[in-house]
Structure 1
């Protein structure tokens, strides 16, 4: 609620100042501010309603968002943009998606406050959102940048969903012109706050029998459970009256997660298993639902589909990265050499024991900055490229290597244990452009795996303008993937080929088409793959795709387009399918282009599945600075292969945008 109050208050203040400036109601004394103070930007909202007859809803029933993006200009020298985003999904997401930021800019620098992202290099700081502050200064050829803030909030959960609160500090200093020659030195430090998550919670979770099971008296059934932070033995009990009373099955049993129980009578339809800690009886769990015990019945154990979360699987991490990025060019950039390199020290678990290191070999101030632990490792990554560029020909030869142990908590995603050699060429002759490239990738750089996987990728393409309105493109791709495993069960031998033909025709509306057909696009692609691995013999896939697109000009206010797609595929030479889809849409403009409406009808057919979608959207410019849009989309799906069967789906949304 506090965020909404701030949002509304700032909007009222900005809007009032802008209105007073336009009306000049502050008198002659305001003329100076009016000339040197300007505010612009946009504010708006989005509301969505979704409903479906399927039990598998793909979206929340209701969604709402508010955004406010004002920019203040001072003396025509400094620009201060603000960024506010409030969403109903907000804090319900794993990481908060609400955003609030202010980013003033001027001729030789910028400032960041709130939520922002910045790019140093793909191996150091790239692709993550920071909530904090930063500054970029670039007077002339000198560059300095620093950023600090939180990149993750504390979220209880397992290894996939949980996270500690993480603080990051980064800095970059450099000199030179990025388009010619330059050098940047980069420092990134990220560390999780151990105290941000309480992992001392004790729990026991019954896995089976967990409800709706059927147990035959005299049969042997395995009782299973999970436990976290529970030391010592456990006690196993059963209730036959829905939890009113319990009887002992086994006491002081090792907490190993399972116990083989010979089912005893009497029979019941309201059985529950209870497992508790012997040391702390307040830590226990019951079966989620009743199960049955009977004589002469068939024992049936219902699989437990609950998401069992290990709260201790997420670990606090620490990372220190030093990097360098730059370019050296000669002969007016006809010859250039680019490089991007970084070294990383990464600790997987901050709770691990520290390593005693002789301070005489390593300066004491280094150990104060970063303390190595038994879960700490260091490694490096780099990327280089040598380029030659001439008027009609260019080539680039690159080499990339990312060691298996390289990690940077300042990047959103980084694939390590990879070595890549690449050669890319481009030739332009008149209206014809030809490109040819080759990439070879390998892993197992430290030979710690039992075999090495290699990928060879060859790509070729030609783009030509045949006539004034006719452009054609032919491209092909070959992928060869193998490994040197000596075992048939793990050996890989995969090949894939792709051929694509595309033709685009653009007609003069006053030509022979009499203003009806505006353009035609025809595309054909062939995809063929063959997996010759021992365990997947005769695994061949062949896919033919044809797509046709037409656009029409019916009148000055009405236009239309039609598209059709056909896909034929076969797998193992036995599993064959044919998919075809069609879309017809209309676009209409009215009231001097203030009202823009569209209607779209589409259908798709694949074997036993059919889908039909109708969408209508209308946007109206209330004024030059205000726009409101309403959209309604209805989907009907009929199928036998989808787990939810046939269903209907309705999506409606309303947006409003005001520019000032």
Structure 2
């Protein structure tokens, strides 16, 4: 449903600042030829209120919609945040960032404090990062979880934008008695230590940076102690006692960057060991190794820009899996400004994916996959300015072709999944001194694969202009498209085709700086030109009013 948001816009000028807004939306819907996808009539009302009192922030949201026939309300997260020249303190729901491989993307319900003194900096956070949830037999796919408490901090010296070095640590532990129906869940504890830093050389032209995190994890700290075969380094055993089933893994990355007026080069390498896990991260894919090299040139007084890219990635770092998945990608992009009015952009991309089974796998053809995809792109652009008119003509063309070189294809076990895709788009835009603009575009796509062929083409045009000292904005768009598919079904050639006609119109009138009214209408007609299928027409209109304070 289309609905205006009501965002606070006022700046804080005193100890108490109150902002908010409301919006009301009404919608009508009609369809002919198919079942309706929404109610014929609907209304929606939304209101919100936020306050900030000496850094203490909270708010309230209210929503009523006839489609769900109920009132929904939510009180925003209560939080406190204030700062001064050398520090900052936050309380409530905070999202600290203390390392890409340690603590990032998690919400901690507790507190956060950071401070700086000359070139020294540091931060600490503590609180609950996960609430307790008992196992529910009625919802077996939702696992139980223990309450999780988290403590983290870092201390460093220098400027993060230039030269610096920092050490950080994270400790997280589940509360074993926080739930009485754990199901298959087990309480875990985790210690992560991180070192990161950067240094600049040759008058800031070269920058070396990197970070390394080590994670000691007890997946179930109720297990018996494992002092004889501990995976933890000795210095970490001082803080975390190893248990049966414990693990220790590393994750890190390094980057070398060179920057000059005509040339730049960025090289980055990262590796996450199999089994690496931090309880301060929402999601992480371990068992990964990646390398990227990105050089770029600016030539002929920046009239020609050349950017290249090489990427390599793989998994199965310890050769414990049945196969190794690797990816190689090479890219080249050229941008040339031939004249002040004519510019050409071109590109080439080559990406190969290889799934290689181990030497001892009995049937290599069942797992081995070798897929190569290449793309060529060309986009010339002509800009014409004169007489108060601004015109832009752009032609985009691309050819994407793929080659299935898998062992099963070479041995004749199955056909290859080769595919060729041809794409073209032509667009034209003109803008008049009055602010009136007109744009049109046409596109064509042809996709061919063994046994199938798809063709799509269409045309769109639209216009927009402002009236009444820009208080009223009007826009109208219309388009036509067609699609044809040919494929084999039950040994016989089958052909299907569809056509669509679409139209949109909208108007937005600003009553004041904080109040506006918007009207939007949409129509679509779909029909089958070949083969069986539904023909239908949809109409929808919406009107909305919003106010902010």
TM-score normalized with structure 1 length: 0.65
Correspondence 1:303-452 to 2 at 5 A: 312=183, 317-348=188-219, 353-357=223-227, 370=240, 372-429=242-299, 430=301, 431-452=303-324
Quick one: distance in 1 between partners of 2:521 and 2:421? 34
Q: Secondary structure at the match of 1:623?
A: coil
The change in CA–CA distance for 1:372 and 1:538 in structure 2 (over 3 A counts) is same
Q: Which residue number corresponds to residue 510 of structure 1? A: 387
Quick one: distance in 1 between partners of 2:478 and 2:18? 35
How far is 1:198 from its partner? Answer: 5.5
How far is 1:383 from its partner? Answer: 0.5
Quick one: distance in 1 between partners of 2:531 and 2:75? 35
CA contact (8 A) 2:519 2:541 kept: no
Q: Which residue number corresponds to residue 440 of structure 2? A: 562
Instruction: Please tell me whether Structure 1 or Structure 2 has the larger radius of gyration of its CA atoms.
Output: 1
Q: Of 122, 130, 135, which aligns to 2:113?
A: 135
CA contact (8 A) 1:69 1:81 kept: no
How far is 1:334 from its partner? Answer: 1.5
Q: Which residue number corresponds to residue 510 of structure 2? A: 621
Correspondence 1:290-309 to 2 at 5 A: none
Q: Which residue number corresponds to residue 61 of structure 2? A: 86
The change in CA–CA distance for 1:44 and 1:328 in structure 2 (over 3 A counts) is same
Q: Residue 488 in 1 paired to residue 378 in 2?
A: no
Q: Which residue number corresponds to residue 168 of structure 1? A: 150
**C-alpha deviations, 1:119-140, integer Å up to 9, x for none?**
3332122233444432332344
How far is 1:178 from its partner? Answer: 1.6
The change in CA–CA distance for 1:46 and 1:523 in structure 2 (over 3 A counts) is farther
Q: Which residue number corresponds to residue 591 of structure 1? A: 468
**C-alpha deviations, 1:291-339, integer Å up to 9, x for none?**
xxxxxxxxxxxxxxxxxxxxx4666554332212221111222222110
Q: Secondary structure at the match of 1:37?
A: coil
Q: Of 103, 111, 115, which aligns to 2:89?
A: 111
Quick one: distance in 1 between partners of 2:129 and 2:347? 41
TM-score normalized with structure 2 length: 0.77
Correspondence 1:509-658 to 2 at 5 A: 509-510=386-387, 515=389, 518-533=391-406, 534=408, 536-554=414-432, 556-572=434-450, 574-607=451-484, 608-635=497-524, 648=538, 650=540, 652=542, 654=544, 656-658=546-548
Q: Which residue number corresponds to residue 44 of structure 1? A: 21
Quick one: distance in 1 between partners of 2:335 and 2:347? 8
Q: Of 377, 400, 408, which aligns to 1:500?
A: 377
The change in CA–CA distance for 1:557 and 1:419 in structure 2 (over 3 A counts) is closer
Q: Secondary structure at the match of 1:489?
A: helix
The change in CA–CA distance for 1:171 and 1:624 in structure 2 (over 3 A counts) is same
Quick one: distance in 1 between partners of 2:46 and 2:424? 39
CA contact (8 A) 1:401 1:418 kept: yes
Quick one: distance in 2 between partners of 1:641 and 1:97? 53
Quick one: distance in 1 between partners of 2:543 and 2:78? 24
Question: Mean alpha-carbon deviation: is it higher for 386-395 or for 174-183?
Answer: 386-395
The change in CA–CA distance for 1:366 and 1:547 in structure 2 (over 3 A counts) is same
**C-alpha deviations, 1:195-238, integer Å up to 9, x for none?**
555537xxxxxxxxxxxxxxxxxxxxxxxxxxxxxxxxxxxxxx
The change in CA–CA distance for 1:634 and 1:48 in structure 2 (over 3 A counts) is farther
The change in CA–CA distance for 1:566 and 1:316 in structure 2 (over 3 A counts) is farther
The change in CA–CA distance for 1:611 and 1:185 in structure 2 (over 3 A counts) is farther
Compare the two structures and name the one with the higher strand fraction: 2
How far is 1:43 from its partner? Answer: 2.5
Quick one: distance in 2 between partners of 1:52 and 1:588? 29
Quick one: distance in 1 between partners of 2:230 and 2:321? 36
Q: Of 165, 169, 172, which aligns to 1:187?
A: 169
Provide structure 1 residue ranges, at least 5 long, that are not aligned to the other structure.
1-10, 19-35, 75-79, 201-311
**C-alpha deviations, 1:559-594, integer Å up to 9, x for none?**
23223322211122x211012243333222122112
Q: Secondary structure at the match of 1:507?
A: strand
Quick one: distance in 1 between partners of 2:479 and 2:428? 15
The change in CA–CA distance for 1:462 and 1:365 in structure 2 (over 3 A counts) is closer
* Equivalences, count: 503
Question: Mean alpha-carbon deviation: is it higher for 639-648 or for 518-527?
Answer: 639-648
CA contact (8 A) 2:59 2:75 kept: no
How far is 1:600 from its partner? Answer: 3.0
Correspondence 1:2-13 to 2 at 5 A: none
Q: Secondary structure at the match of 1:508?
A: strand
How far is 1:494 from its partner? Answer: 0.8
Quick one: distance in 2 between partners of 1:56 and 1:376? 56
Quick one: distance in 1 between partners of 2:232 and 2:326? 39
The change in CA–CA distance for 1:366 and 1:427 in structure 2 (over 3 A counts) is closer
Question: Mean alpha-carbon deviation: is it higher for 625-634 or for 129-138?
Answer: 625-634
Q: Secondary structure at the match of 1:413?
A: coil
**C-alpha deviations, 1:336-360, integer Å up to 9, x for none?**
211021112334456x634343799
The change in CA–CA distance for 1:367 and 1:178 in structure 2 (over 3 A counts) is closer
Q: Of 315, 326, 344, which aligns to 1:454?
A: 326
Q: Residue 122 in 1 paired to residue 11 in 2?
A: no
The change in CA–CA distance for 1:622 and 1:324 in structure 2 (over 3 A counts) is farther
Q: Secondary structure at the match of 2:248?
A: strand
**C-alpha deviations, 1:526-559, integer Å up to 9, x for none?**
2111222216532111111112232222561432
The change in CA–CA distance for 1:37 and 1:563 in structure 2 (over 3 A counts) is same
Quick one: distance in 1 between partners of 2:203 and 2:394? 40
Q: Secondary structure at the match of 1:589?
A: strand
Provide structure 2 residue ranges, at least 5 long, that are not aligned to the other structure.
1-7, 65-69, 485-496
